[in-house]
Structure 1
Amino acid sequence: MTTDLKETIRTVNSAAVMGLLPARPRILALGEPAHGESTLHAVRNELFRQLVEEEGYRTFALESDCLTGLLVDDYVTDLDGTAGDDELDDVMARGFSHEWGAFPGNRELVRWMRTFNAGRPASDRIRFAGVDGPLEITGAASPRQALTALHGFLAERLGTGLLPCSDDALDSFIGPDDRWTEPAAMMDPSRSVGQSAEARELRLIADDLAALLGAHTPGLIAASTAAEWERARLYGRTATGLLRYHFWMADTSPGRMTWLLGVRDAMIAANLLALAERGPVLVSAHNSHLQRTPSTMRMWDYPRLEWWGAGALVDAELGAGYAFLATAVGTIRHRGVDAPPSDSVEGLLYALPGDHHLVDAGRLAASLGERLPDARVSPWFGYAPLDPAQLAALDGIVFVKDAQER
């Protein structure tokens, strides 16, 4: 090694993060190697607080349903009256997907965001956004919410003459929601309605509605508040992306899962780019969604799936406007992840004093030289170790020595 490893580490704070980067990024991505770990959430929350107070960040984005996330955004920004624990309980239960609302760190973050916003003008309040599609690994939502909201927005401002169908016809094409949410469809494409005649018609309708949104942009902006316009665009992106996802759920070709993974990350990327238009964003998601290199996964009967994740797509669009900090951990003992091998990247960092560090990934890669350490092997499926080959594609690493059970 040509550099002392201690020379590559800094304290985890907003000033140190900005010191690693050539300029303040429009999107700062903070990945995590495992979901639901309270220690990682605590480090994330403190960094976001500093970014808000010291660097002017005003949006926190999470790998959670973009539509249900609107409930959380309303809660932290609409400050009329007081909000007790019962209201917060409801927001945490209905405003998140993927069980995110059950994690104490997310509850603490939402509570802090609302408290921070108290007494501030609307233009200076921090915002919450889900950036994932209305998707779970076991299936996807009905397109009803996004389609009917977009249809209603356009009908109110443009009248019904230009719309491709009436609201009654739209409802008829959608049909019962449980047709779309059939859990067996993920494993059995024949159980999906995504390539039915009604679904194909809905894809054309969604495309036409999105086209109307674009073609009438000046008038629609003039006839809407900024929040209404922002949400209409979100409904358009979600309706078209969700119907595309359902289409590929019904497909039987070998490319089915690659399509599904790619559509999901394309939806995340589009949502992030839209958020960046209003100011700098901190996004929290799994490392695999945020990395610049192709994402890979083993799943069911697929030995290796590869696709471009949201981070790679956003990086291609923004260049230096995108920065990625991967989080790595030493131990998650309550999950059976004990001390890392001493010759792994995590093992080298684990040997340093301190509970957590910000690591200059470029200097770390240079210190390791041409022969990179072997990748760590995870004993728990929910934890993805750092890939040493990706060090050069990282802007930094947030290393947490021990992720502890709360």
Structure 2
Amino acid sequence: MVTDIKDTACAVEAAAVMRLLPVRPRLLALGEPTHGEDALLGLRNELFRQLVEQEGYGTIAIENDCMTGLAVDAYIASGTGTLDEVMEHGFSHGWGTSAANRELVRWMRAFNDGRPSSERLRFAGFDGPLEITGAASPRQALTALHEYLASAGVDADLFPCTAEALDRLLGADAPWTEPAAMTDPARSVGQSARAARLRLLADDLVALLDAQTPHLITATSRDDWDRACLYGRTATGLLRYHYWMADTSTARMTRLLGVRDQMMAHNLLAVAARGPALVHAHNSHLQREKSTVRMGGTPLEWWSAGALVSARLGEEYAFVATALGTIRHQGVDTPPPDTVEGLLYALPADRCVIDPPRLATALGDTLPAPRVSPWFGYAPLDPAHLADSDGLVFVKDVPQSRCHP
């Protein structure tokens, strides 16, 4: 069996990944089974660098707040701000402390230095302004959209409200970001009268943006218009998310998980419209099958961003999953030999690229046992969905990460 699987394994290189794909996809997504491990992010950096240099990919999009990510893109494009500032303020989820993320930003900036704007790499966060503990206020996105339309000379009579009225409705940010609302719907303002009014206003502002597109692209620029579209998607997505935070039905968490991945999918489709892009996030956000999780003992499932994007783009979307052997500092030890990870762990290479259909053929009709992780932060492969990936990267051992001081 190990010999059969060994025949499917190649070195982790851009060329090996591209050989697995029928066409060069517009979105090439690399997943990871756990967050916060610089060894996996370093591998991402190496692979993405090769794909940029050899295959011409022009954007790198990661699971990061789409709004804060604008600062990273500005720094990479033109050196706006400093590397320290961008790492502190441009990353969500605490990922600005990652040495590998810092190296990615440093390399992208160096790559762009001296290049004409048409050849520069772009950076995008494609997650919403969301954390496990809650969601941001829609203030930043809504006011930025209103300001863009006003500064571009759109007739004031066409606006659904003034900037002052919008500010009054938004109110203080604290009620929007109340951490207790994640576990207690009664603490959420998402179904209040002012939130309902803001959802209508956000919809009208996005409709105004769409209706004025010919004027706006001429009066500002395509990049400015793209950014305004991002503000609109973010505002409407956040208000929808807050609405379901206030829900008391049994479908509440499923709705929240689904809304987040919808926001991700819409951002990825916008990135794809700009040109070929590389994507990095957790496997569960990029896979084609339904994502699952247990919360409070209740199983939940929803369609991931990858599934939504794949349904739209077909072969223009490709997903390469990552699996691993050990994360010993998190209590994840050598995988059992009767699991997919255990079979791959027996291979001699420290890391390799696998062709999933060939691996599935080598495994035969009897599926290996699913691996059970002793640590909640690591999601093993599901053997039943092995062939749903276009490629598989296997990393044998993940050493403990270091943070940038």
Q: Could you tell me the TM-score, scaled by structure 2's length? A: 0.97
**1:241 equivalenced with 2:224 (yes/no):** no
Structure 2 distance, partners of 1:103, 1:159, is: 45
| Deviation at residue 2 of structure 1 after TM alignment | 11
Structure 1 distance, partners of 2:156, 2:364, is: 65
Task: Classify the secondary structure of the residue corresponding to 1:212.
Answer: helix
**1:137 equivalenced with 2:137 (yes/no):** no
**1:304 equivalenced with 2:333 (yes/no):** no
| Deviation at residue 106 of structure 1 after TM alignment | 0.3
Structure 2 distance, partners of 1:324, 1:353, is: 25
Any conservation in 1 of the 2:2–2:343 contact (CA below 8 Å)? Answer: no
Structure 1 outlier segments of 4+, above 4 Å: none
| Deviation at residue 3 of structure 1 after TM alignment | 7.5
Structure 1 distance, partners of 2:382, 2:185, is: 33
Amino acid at match of 1:233: C
Q: 2:392 aligns with which of 380, 390, 397?
A: 397
Partner of 2:158: 162
Partner of 1:5: 5
Task: Classify the secondary structure of the residue corresponding to 1:327.
Answer: strand
Structure 2 distance, partners of 1:284, 1:79, is: 23
Which string of whole-angstrom CA distances, capped at 9 and with x for unpartnered residues, describes residues 121-168 of structure 1? 111111111000000010000000100011111122213110100000
Task: Classify the secondary structure of the residue corresponding to 2:44.
Answer: helix
Task: Classify the secondary structure of the residue corresponding to 1:120.
Answer: coil
Partner of 2:212: 216
Size of the alignment, in residue pairs? 400
Structure 2 distance, partners of 1:76, 1:299, is: 38
Amino acid at match of 2:28: L
**1:95 equivalenced with 2:99 (yes/no):** no
**1:203 equivalenced with 2:196 (yes/no):** no
Any conservation in 1 of the 2:14–2:47 contact (CA below 8 Å)? Answer: yes
Which string of whole-angstrom CA distances, capped at 9 and with x for unpartnered residues, describes residues 299-338 of structure 1? 13x5100100000000000000000000000011111111
Partner of 2:327: 332
Any conservation in 2 of the 1:3–1:367 contact (CA below 8 Å)? Answer: no
**1:313 equivalenced with 2:334 (yes/no):** no
Moved more, 288-297 or 275-284: 275-284
Q: 1:278 aligns with which of 263, 274, 279?
A: 274
Aligned-pair RMSD on alpha carbons? 1.2
* Alignment map for 1:6-405 (pairs within 5 Å): 6-79=6-79, 87-157=82-152, 158-300=154-296, 302-405=297-400
Any conservation in 2 of the 1:13–1:47 contact (CA below 8 Å)? Answer: yes
Amino acid at match of 2:76: V
Structure 1 distance, partners of 2:2, 2:190, is: 55
Structure 1 distance, partners of 2:38, 2:28, is: 21
Structure 1 distance, partners of 2:151, 2:70, is: 21
Structure 2 distance, partners of 1:47, 1:22, is: 19
Structure 1 distance, partners of 2:178, 2:76, is: 33
Structure 2 distance, partners of 1:145, 1:265, is: 21
Which string of whole-angstrom CA distances, capped at 9 and with x for unpartnered residues, describes residues 217-244 of structure 1? 2122111212101100100100000000
Structure 2 distance, partners of 1:370, 1:328, is: 21
Any conservation in 2 of the 1:2–1:366 contact (CA below 8 Å)? Answer: no
| Deviation at residue 28 of structure 1 after TM alignment | 0.6
Task: Classify the secondary structure of the residue corresponding to 2:167.
Answer: helix
Any conservation in 1 of the 2:2–2:346 contact (CA below 8 Å)? Answer: no
Moved more, 27-36 or 223-232: 223-232
Which string of whole-angstrom CA distances, capped at 9 and with x for unpartnered residues, describes residues 232-291 of structure 1? 010010000000000000110111111100000000000001001111111110000000
Any conservation in 2 of the 1:33–1:327 contact (CA below 8 Å)? Answer: yes
Task: Classify the secondary structure of the residue corresponding to 1:179.
Answer: coil
Q: Could you tell me the TM-score, scaled by structure 1's length? A: 0.97
Structure 2 distance, partners of 1:134, 1:374, is: 37
Task: Classify the secondary structure of the residue corresponding to 1:283.
Answer: strand
Structure 2 distance, partners of 1:271, 1:141, is: 17
Which string of whole-angstrom CA distances, capped at 9 and with x for unpartnered residues, describes residues 80-127 of structure 1? 7xx7xxx21211111011111111110110011101111111111111
Any conservation in 2 of the 1:61–1:282 contact (CA below 8 Å)? Answer: yes
> Which sections of structure 1, spanning at least 5 residues, go unmatched?
none
Task: Classify the secondary structure of the residue corresponding to 2:144.
Answer: helix
Structure 2 distance, partners of 1:392, 1:361, is: 5
Amino acid at match of 1:370: D
> Which sections of structure 2, spanning at least 5 residues, go unmatched?
none
Amino acid at match of 1:246: H
Any conservation in 2 of the 1:327–1:399 contact (CA below 8 Å)? Answer: yes
Amino acid at match of 1:211: A
| Deviation at residue 200 of structure 1 after TM alignment | 0.3
| Deviation at residue 79 of structure 1 after TM alignment | 3.3
Relative to structure 1, the CA distance from residue 328 to residue 155 in structure 2 (aligned partners, 3 Å threshold; closer, same or farther) is same
